[in-house]
């Protein structure tokens, strides 16, 4: 059961890394605008906000990865 929980937690961490990359690096790029359905004007104005959200998702991913890579110790 612990292996399943670690696998699912790892998948959530990978999802957060993907969201972080989209928000921090591709927000004001044609790929990001197409994924999020934005105009160039909207993406330019909200770029700093998206980078902040991306950073938050990066910290979440780091936390989840630290939980999956822990050596079986109970961290509560």
- Domain residue spans of the chain: 2-68
pTM of the full structure: 0.82
Are the C-beta atoms of 32 and 67 separated by less than 8 Å?
no
**Tens digits of residue pLDDT in 13-29:** 999 999 999 999 999 99
24-35 mean pLDDT: 95
Handedness of CA 64, 66, 68, 74 (dihedral sign): negative
Say how far apart CA 28 and CA 30 lie, in whole Å.
Answer: 7
pLDDT at 1: 85
Say how far apart CA 36 and CA 43 lie, in whole Å.
Answer: 9
Say how far apart CA 64 and CA 10 lie, in whole Å.
Answer: 7
């Amino acid at each position: 059961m612990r292996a399943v929980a670690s696998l699912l937690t790892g998948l959530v961490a990978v999802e957060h890394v993907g969201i972080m990359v989209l928000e921090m690096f591709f927000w004001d790029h044609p790929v990001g605008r197409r994924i999020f359905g934005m105009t160039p004007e909207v993406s330019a104005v909200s770029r700093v906000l998206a980078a902040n959200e991306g950073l938050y998702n990066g910290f979440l991913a780091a936390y989840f990865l630290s939980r999956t890579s822990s050596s079986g110790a109970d961290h509560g």
